[in-house]
Amino acid sequence: MTEIVSKNASVVPTGKSGFSLLKMIGADRTLTLLLTAAQVLTGVSANGLIVTVNAIGLIKQRKIAALDLLLSCLAISRIFLQLDMVFFLMIIFSGKEFIIPATIVIILFTNELGLWFATWLSVFYCTKIASIPHWLFLWLKMRISRLVPWLIVGSLFHSAITSAIYSQHAWAISKGILFNFLLKNATQINEKETYVMPIFFIASLTLPFLIFLTAVALLIFFLVKHSLRMRMMATGAGSPGQSAHTSAVLSILSFLVLHFSHYMVAICFCTQKYQIGSLSFLLCMLLAVVYPSIHSIILIFVNPKLKQNAKTLLLGLCKGCQ
């Protein structure tokens, strides 16, 4: 790629100078790839397990429950997201800048799609577990299972539209990434793509995040209130019902922490102020792949059916290897 000169004569490093850059950040590059690979391996294994278990159930029963369908779609989107993030890192480190625009669009699509699926999953859990005397909540509680396929299609449609908008500015965004990630004092090429598009990206992620917060807040409120009521009625302090509710609250809080951290990482990447090899960049990359990995593992343990089927599948695989 030829050198691109900005107004202040700042340049984007070409593929020829990529090797000198890699020499300067070789240790950090290795650390980043190792940590990312470990998280991706964990995430792909957990999400692959979810897809496999639900696929086996679909083959046996010739139908799939709304929750299993939503979990499968979430797991598939996360597998593609994590693999594409690793591919994105490999592209940057190898100096093949011409592939970056398409990779960015795919990452934005799978990331937004996964966040929408996680949001609808929180709404599904909230409507199925909580009992709130409001007509809108009761209406949603009765119809959420039938709405799941439409929510999935709507999420795909919304993510496709926003990704199409991103694709119109993908090359300009990728140049901004190269400028800010690879150069210390680089000047932006096009202020419109540099500032307007990240703001649009953050706005598109804010809507599912607010819906997620609402569902989680309602669910935590109900579980805490119900747990206190059970504690007052129970004769013993450690009844199984109280333990189950406490476990559910802790799981939901972990979902909230992971979802919030992933949302903040997306905002940090939109600012494009980090250089490859810096501590901030390493931390953001690690947090970006932690959410789709750890969240999926928690989903397996909090879902009794999925947990049992996953355990049976793993035992069968271990016996087959022996």
pLDDT (tens digit per residue) in 28-77: 566 666 777 788 888 898 899 899 888 988 898 888 999 899 999 999 99
- Measured between alpha carbons, how far is 2 from 11 in angstroms, rounded to an integer? 10
59 vs 2, higher pLDDT: 59
Q: Which residues contact 257 (CB under 8 A, 6 or more apart)?
A: none
In a 3-state reduction of DSSP, which class is residue 303? coil
Confidence of residue 108 (pLDDT cuts 50, 70, 90): confident
Query: Residue 277: which region, alpha, beta or left (left: phi > 0; alpha: psi -120 to 50)?
Result: left
What end-to-end distance do the CA atoms of the chain give, in Å?
Answer: 52
Alpha-carbon distances of 288 from 53, 260, 263, 266, rounded to whole Å:
26, 11, 9, 8
Banded model confidence at residue 245, pLDDT cuts 50, 70, 90? low
CATH, domain range 27-302: 1.20.1070.10
Cα 263 from Cα 284, distance rounded (Å): 11
Judged against a pLDDT cut of 90, whether residue 269 lies above it is answered with no
In this structure, what is the dihedral angle of CA atoms 216, 217, 223, 224, given to the nearest 10 degrees?
A: 140
Cα dist. 167→49, 98, 102, 163, 291 in Å?
32, 14, 8, 6, 25
320 versus 309: which is more confidently predicted?
309
pLDDT at 240 over 60: no
Q: Where are the domains of the chain?
A: 27-302
Tell me the two tokens of residue 71.
């979990």
* Res 318 pLDDT > 80: no
Reading the block at residue 222, the tokens are 């109900």
pLDDT tens-digit series, residues 139-179: 998 999 999 999 999 999 999 998 888 777 666 665 555 55
